[in-house]
Amino acid sequence: MLGLRFSRLVHAAIASGALLLGACPDAPGDTETGTESETDTGDTDTTNDPDPTTGFPPPPPPPPGDITPPALAAVTMIDAFTLQLSFTEAIAPVDTVNPKRFRLSLARGYFGNYGGQPATYLRDLQYYNLVEYCPPPPPGCYYDPQPYYCYYGGCYYQPLPIAVADVFNHYADPTQVILSLTAPIQPSLCNILQAPEDPLIDFVLHLHYASGGLAQITDMAGLPLPSLADAWVKDPNNNYYNYLNAAPFSNFNPFLPIPCTLF
């Protein structure tokens, strides 16, 4: 009877909040508080992801542009006053190029050893480019026999110097440049070039060029045309120049003889 009454009192106390039941203590040494504090000790992902502060690495640099300078490939005669230069690539406008950068020579190559070693001898064209001149006969020579002052010597040949007068781009082909000359090429010059072959001597007509400075020939990328036997250009008042003890025409790089097909 007493037990039943006590049970009712306990339930009434719990319902009213007057009696709190404490939980049973954990086993000795158990300090777990029920909070998730475990650390994952599994494998760590070591993938090298890009640094978000720097982004991806820069792409490789583009290939270099045009690094090859233009080269002269051929020189041909268009007519007695005109030469055509052919290059390996398109040439920039030549409006400001000084014509004095160019000079022509008659080059004689000696291949033998008699009287010296192989060599190349340059000469100005005026000694070979000859024009015939016929002076008018003197007036009043009606005496018979004619006195000495009426002597008429007839026609003779005189030197005709040649220089480059102007430089301009070809109207249709960007890889070609045109040179106009101050005087026409004469048959006498071509006769030297077309003379019977000699195993020890050869004559060629060749173009020289001096590069450097601002007013020079360049390609479209601005790369300049290299010089071509420019010592002949840099000394315009010298009509003779020799390359001794060297293979004939080795001073020309490239070696581009100009054929004469006019006569």
d(CA 71, CA 54): 46
Alpha-carbon gap, residue 251 to 119, rounded angstroms = 10
Percent of the chain with pLDDT over 90: 59
* Number of C-beta neighbours around residue 189 at 10 A: 26
Domains of the chain: 72-129+160-243 (2.60.40.1220)
State residue 236's pLDDT score.
94
pTM of the model: 0.72
**Best CA proximity match to 104, nearest among 169, 170, 184:** 184
Q: Splitting the chain (263 residues) into consecutive groups of 10 residues, what average pLDDT does each group show?
A: 47 51 48 48 54 66 77 98 98 96 97 84 97 79 63 84 98 98 97 86 97 92 96 96 94 97 86
What is the predicted pLDDT for the residue at 57? 75
pLDDT score recorded for residue 149: 61
Positive or negative, the Cα torsion across 76, 79, 81, 84? negative
Residue 240's pLDDT is 96
What percentage of the chain exceeds 70 in pLDDT?
71
Residue 37 pLDDT: 46
For tokens 């001073």, what's the residue? 251
| Start-end of H helices in 98-238 | 187-193, 231-234
The CA distances from residue 214 to 45, 96, 223, in Å, are 62, 9, 12
pLDDT at position 15:
52
